[in-house]
C-alpha cells in the first residue's frame, strides 16, 4: 500500500530540535512518500484509503540501522568490558548457542516482540553464522510485519573456532 491517508493527532519533527503536534490532521502518503500534513484533506487525496485514528496520537516509527539480534539474550551484560573482552566473555558463547534452532526460536521471538513494542518499523539486523537460525529470525520478522534486512554474520578474525 503506497497511497494512503492517516488522520489523527500527528506528532511531527520539523527539525532535529523541534516537535509539533498537528491535532485532528491528515498525513498523506503517495507513491510511498510523504506528501504533506493538512488540516483539511485536499480534494485530490479524498479517494485514498483513510486510516482514521481520530483522538489518538500518531508518532513516527523508529528505524534501527545496526542491530545484533542474538545479543538480545545477553542484554545488559559486561557493560564494564572493552569490546574485544566483551565479545570473548559474553558474545561468542551466547551466539554459539544459536546452532540450536529451538533456542534461536525462543530468543528471536522475544527479540521481535520487543522491537515491535518499541515502535520499530524497519531495521538492519545481524544474526549469527547459523543459517537455519538466521532464517527463523527472518520468518518471525515477516510474520509480525516488521520490514528488515537480516544478515548472517560471517566472522573470520578475532573469533573462536566454534
Is the per-residue pLDDT at 102 higher than 80? Answer: yes
Q: Which three cell numbers stand for residue 156?
A: 573470520
User: What is the per-residue pLDDT for 29?
Assistant: 93
Is the per-residue pLDDT at 1 higher than 80? Answer: no
Handedness of CA 68, 71, 75, 80 (dihedral sign): negative
Percentage of the chain modeled with pLDDT above 90: 64
What's the rounded mean pLDDT across residues 83-95? 90
What's the rounded mean pLDDT across residues 55-72? 90
Can you give the residue ranges of every domain in the chain? 4-60, 63-151
| Phi and psi torsions of 51, nearest 5° | -100, 105
Predicted confidence band at 160 (pLDDT cuts at 50, 70, 90)?
A: confident
Predicted confidence band at 134 (pLDDT cuts at 50, 70, 90)?
A: very high
User: What is the per-residue pLDDT for 137?
Assistant: 97
Most confident of 37-41, 63-67, 72-76, 119-123: 37-41
Residue 98: count of CB within 10 angstroms of its CB: 24
Rounded-to-integer distance, Cα 8 and Cα 59, Å: 10
What mean pLDDT is reported for the chain?
91
Assign domain 4-60 to its CATH superfamily. Urease, subunit C, domain 1 (2.30.40.10)
Rounded-to-integer distance, Cα 106 and Cα 16, Å: 37
| Phi and psi torsions of 115, nearest 5° | -60, -50
Q: Report pLDDT digits (tens) over 43-57.
A: 999 999 999 999 999
Amino acid at each position: 500500500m503506497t497511497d494512503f491517508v492517516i488522520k489523527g493527532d500527528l506528532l511531527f519533527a520539523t527539525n532535529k530540535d523541534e516537535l509539533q503536534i498537528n491535532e485532528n490532521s491528515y498525513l498523506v502518503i503517495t507513491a510511498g512518500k510523504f506528501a504533506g500534513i493538512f488540516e483539511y484533506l485536499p480534494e485530490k487525496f479524498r479517494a485514498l484509503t483513510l486510516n482514521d485514528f481520530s483522538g489518538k496520537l500518531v508518532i513516527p516509527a523508529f528505524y534501527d540501522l545496526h542491530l545484533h539480534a542474538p545479543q538480545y539474550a545477553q542484554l545488559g551484560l559486561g557493560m564494564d568490558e572493552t569490546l574485544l573482552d566483551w565479545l570473548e566473555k559474553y558474545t561468542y558463547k551466547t551466539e554459539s548457542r544459536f546452532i540450536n534452532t529451538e533456542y534461536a526460536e525462543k530468543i528471536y521471538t522475544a527479540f521481535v516482540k520487543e522491537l515491535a513494542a518499541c515502535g520499530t518499523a524497519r531495521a538492519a539486523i545481524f544474526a549469527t553464522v547459523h543459517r537455519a537460525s538466521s532464517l527463523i529470525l527472518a520468518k518471525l520478522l515477516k510474520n509480525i510485519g516488521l520490514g528488515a534486512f537480516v544478515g548472517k554474520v560471517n566472522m573470520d578474525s578475532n573469533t573462536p573456532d566454534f
